Amino acid sequence: MSDQPTYYVTTPIYYVNDAPHIGHAYTTLACDVLARFKRLDGYYVRFLTGTDEHGQKVEKSAEAAGKDPLTFTTEVSQNFRDLADFMNFTHDDFIRTTEPRHIKACQAIWQKLVDAGDIYLGSYVGWYAVRDEAFYGEDELTKNADGVRIAPSGAEVEWVEEPSYFFKLSAWGDRLLAYYDANPDFILPESRRNEVTSFVKGGLNDLSVSRTTFKWGVPVPGDDEHIMYVWLDALTNYITAVGYPETDGGNYAKYWPADLHMVGKDILRFHAVYWPAFLMAAGLELPKRVFAHGWWTNEGQKISKSLGNVIDPIELANRYGLDQVRYFMLREVPFGNDGDFSHTAMINRMNGELANDFGNLAQRVLSMIAKNCDGKVPTPGPFEADDTALLGQAQGLLEVVRDQLDRQGFNHALESIWVVIRAANGYVDRQAPWKLKKEDPARMATVLYVLAETIRHLAIMAQPVMPEAMEKMLDQLAQSADARDFTALGEGGALVPGLDLPKPEGVFPRFVDEDAE
Ligand code: ME8
């Protein structure tokens, strides 16, 4: 076995009742950036996304569309795949819960839970919200203006009475708390971890894990009257995709436990309470981390189909550019917090940070090299303190960004990259290479070399967030495909003086609003 480290990152699998929107793109983008970063950093990466296709909510949506559930889910699932391709996501696997490999895994984990004595037959009498696919206690509900009972998520609930298998969740509270305690980074951010801990401390009820009043799901082994609760089915996807129930060798041995389940805050409880309890009961290892990010609103309003303000990431990217949108989403909001999408904020970041700060830096430096250095990487003379300071900052970036991304601090990582971009711009102004051209051409060559080398570091570091733009920037520095991972940041990777550079072209255009007066 190679000792190359591994990294397994997952997105939620999305319900196929709806068109994909910016919220789905956001979660998968965050995972894509981590997957790309880890690959460049020498890891074997497994990056999983997919669609959650069973349950009452999907069944009802299929019915409303006048289609049988499988035809419907096949179509909608394809929309999620298309979005992932469009967004330039690099997932290694796209799972659908209707696939035979998944049904087999669900039935296998069910059997493990039965064998462990954690499943019993009873009947569920209580409230259920189809929109959340979740059960609620009376004390969690409020009434809306029409007197209809509403779950904390805002979803309407309905009264359900049916035979059901239960999972003995109540028996797992202490072990979950002990696990959170021993693994303080299991749930991030910390505020969310505290919420989960107090929820578990409040006492857990046994969980209804099968339904009998509809058919669209995985049959319970040995009792065809029941289908598995859609969340037990859905959560299992994370192990299906690494080959469960095969646990000896293969991808399971290589990748499980997952390094990170990335989720939105709405579904943290399922991932940080139910899923670890299922896994412990089945005798399987727990994922290393669940990170719950915040919620996007649109110009201050909740995003919803009924409000007609769903943000289509494809439209955004067509307007502003794909890498610009990828950058904006991860830079605008501290990861973990809620965030608001506004066109003004998008344009400000695009024009300010991308076009002015980074784009102009590269364009100015590469144009000066094209004009004054015969289009070749200049040969530097001895370095001065200002030169080594800037190069030192650029060389120190990897370690800083690696730490920040290991805690899912995307905005911090981008800010760290921008600290160096701003430092480089400050250096250009101080050193004024355009003046040196006549006064001291040898010094000009050194300054331009230091800048080009700094830009090379920046472009390599920014690849995970802006892969296409950085590909262009690295092309302009004539870097071969195998000189773009993080080993190229070490000794020996530096730009070779005399290397021919292609004609420079701008990478980050300014946004000009054609609709504006
Ligand atoms: O919950 N802001 O699927 P889902 C940020 N199938 N993120 C958002 C968002 C918004 N406005 N809207 C959606 C399910 N998301 C289950 C998951 S996993 C085993 C099963 C993102 O289609 C966010 O990641 O409702 C959220 O957790 C997820 O989409 C919910 O997707």
Assign residue 195 the CATH number of its domain: 3.40.50.620
Which ligand 1 atom lies nearest to the CA of residue 302? 11
**Domain annotation covers residue 378:** yes
Q: pLDDT band at residue 17, thresholds of 50, 70 and 90?
A: confident
Cβ of 470 below 6 Å from ligand 1: no
What per-residue confidence (pLDDT) applies to 307?
A: 78
**Which residue CA neighbors atom 18 of ligand 1 most closely?**
12
**Domain annotation covers residue 320:** no
In 229-327, the DSSP E strands lie at: 260-264, 290-293, 296-298, 301-302
Q: Same domain for 243 and 366?
A: no
**Domain annotation covers residue 419:** yes
- Spatial neighbors of 282 by CB under 8 A, at least 6 apart, are 109, 112, 113, 116
Distance of CA 80 from the midpoint of ligand 1 (Å)? 12
Cβ of 12 below 6 Å from ligand 1: yes
CB 320 within 8 A of CB 47: no
Q: What is the mean pLDDT of residues 427-442?
A: 96
Q: Which range has the worst mean pLDDT, 40-44, 48-52, 340-344?
A: 340-344
What per-residue confidence (pLDDT) applies to 49?
A: 98
Q: Same domain for 234 and 371?
A: no
Which ligand 1 atom lies nearest to the CA of residue 265? 27
Q: What is the mean pLDDT of residues 343-362?
A: 97
Distance of CA 96 from the midpoint of ligand 1 (Å)? 16
Domain that holds residue 480: 343-489
Q: Same domain for 208 and 91?
A: yes
Q: What is the DSSP string of 415-461?
A: HHHHHHHHHHHHHHHHH-HHHHHHH-HHHHHHHHHHHHHHHHHHHHH
**Domain annotation covers residue 313:** no
Q: Is the peptide bond before 245 cis (omega within 30 degrees of 0)?
A: yes
Q: What is the mean pLDDT of residues 262-277?
A: 98
CB 90 within 8 A of CB 47: yes
**Which residue CA neighbors atom 3 of ligand 1 most closely?**
14
Cβ of 62 below 6 Å from ligand 1: no
**Domain annotation covers residue 515:** no
What per-residue confidence (pLDDT) applies to 308?
A: 82
**Which residue CA neighbors atom 15 of ligand 1 most closely?**
23
**Which residue CA neighbors atom 10 of ligand 1 most closely?**
23
Site to probe by mutation for ligand 1, drawn from 9, 21, 24, 299 as the one with most ligand atoms within 8 Å of Cβ, is: 24
> Using the 8-state DSSP alphabet, how is residue 355 labeled?
I
Which helix (H) or strand (E) element contains residue 281?
helix 275-281
Q: Same domain for 272 and 368?
A: no
**Exposure of 332 in the CB half-sphere (CA atoms within 13 A):** 24
Q: Same domain for 350 and 288?
A: no
Cβ of 199 below 6 Å from ligand 1: no
Q: Same domain for 396 and 257?
A: no
Q: Same domain for 181 and 272?
A: yes
Mean pLDDT of the chain: 96
Cβ of 132 below 6 Å from ligand 1: no
What per-residue confidence (pLDDT) applies to 306?
A: 74
- For the chain, give the percent of residues with pLDDT over 70: 99
Cβ of 267 below 6 Å from ligand 1: yes
Q: What is the mean pLDDT of residues 210-220?
A: 96
pLDDT in tens, 128-162: 999 999 999 999 999 999 999 999 989 999 999 99
Q: What is the mean pLDDT of residues 85-90?
A: 98
Say if residue 197's pLDDT is above 90. Answer: yes
Distance of CA 111 from the midpoint of ligand 1 (Å)? 28
What per-residue confidence (pLDDT) applies to 515?
A: 66
Identify which has the larger pLDDT, 310 or 372. Answer: 372
- Spatial neighbors of 501 by CB under 8 A, at least 6 apart, are 366, 369, 370, 375, 376, 377, 476, 477, 478
Q: Same domain for 376 and 240?
A: no
Q: What is the mean pLDDT of residues 372-387?
A: 98
Q: Same domain for 429 and 289?
A: no
Q: Same domain for 279 and 350?
A: no
Q: What is the mean pLDDT of residues 362-388?
A: 98
Q: pLDDT band at residue 517, thresholds of 50, 70 and 90?
A: very low
CB 294 within 8 A of CB 338: yes
Q: What is the mean pLDDT of residues 481-493?
A: 95
Cβ of 235 below 6 Å from ligand 1: yes
Q: What is the mean pLDDT of residues 189-193?
A: 96
Cβ of 234 below 6 Å from ligand 1: yes
**Which residue CA neighbors atom 27 of ligand 1 most closely?**
264
Cβ of 211 below 6 Å from ligand 1: no
Cβ of 50 below 6 Å from ligand 1: no
Cβ of 53 below 6 Å from ligand 1: no
pLDDT in tens, 313-322: 999 999 999 9
**Which residue CA neighbors atom 8 of ligand 1 most closely?**
23
Q: 307, exposed or middle or buried, with CB in 10 Å at 0-12, 13-18, 19+?
A: exposed
Q: What is the mean pLDDT of residues 174-193?
A: 98
**Domain annotation covers residue 324:** no
Site to probe by mutation for ligand 1, drawn from 16, 26, 228, 278 as the one with most ligand atoms within 8 Å of Cβ, is: 26
Q: What is the mean pLDDT of residues 462-483?
A: 98
Q: Same domain for 377 and 288?
A: no
Cβ of 263 below 6 Å from ligand 1: yes
**Domain annotation covers residue 511:** no
Site to probe by mutation for ligand 1, drawn from 9, 10, 14 as the one with most ligand atoms within 8 Å of Cβ, is: 14
Cβ of 13 below 6 Å from ligand 1: yes
Distance of CA 390 from the midpoint of ligand 1 (Å)? 42
Q: What is the mean pLDDT of residues 338-363?
A: 96
Distance of CA 26 from the midpoint of ligand 1 (Å)? 10
**Which residue CA neighbors atom 30 of ligand 1 most closely?**
14
Cβ of 313 below 6 Å from ligand 1: no
**Domain annotation covers residue 409:** yes
- For the chain, give the percent of residues with pLDDT over 90: 93
For residue 43, count other CB atoms closer than 10 A to its CB. 16
Which ligand 1 atom lies nearest to the CA of residue 27? 24
Work out the end-to-end distance of the chain between its first and last CA atoms, rounded to an integer number of angstroms. 64
When divided into structural domains, the chain yields a total of 2
Cβ of 311 below 6 Å from ligand 1: no
Q: pLDDT band at residue 304, thresholds of 50, 70 and 90?
A: confident
Q: Same domain for 357 and 286?
A: no
**Which residue CA neighbors atom 24 of ligand 1 most closely?**
264
- Please identify, among 278, 294, 310, the residue that sits at the C-terminal boundary of a domain: 294
pLDDT in tens, 400-425: 999 999 999 999 999 999 999 999 99
Cβ of 278 below 6 Å from ligand 1: no
Task: Give dist(CA 349, CA 361) in Å, integer.
Answer: 16
CATH number, domain containing residue 352: 1.10.730.10
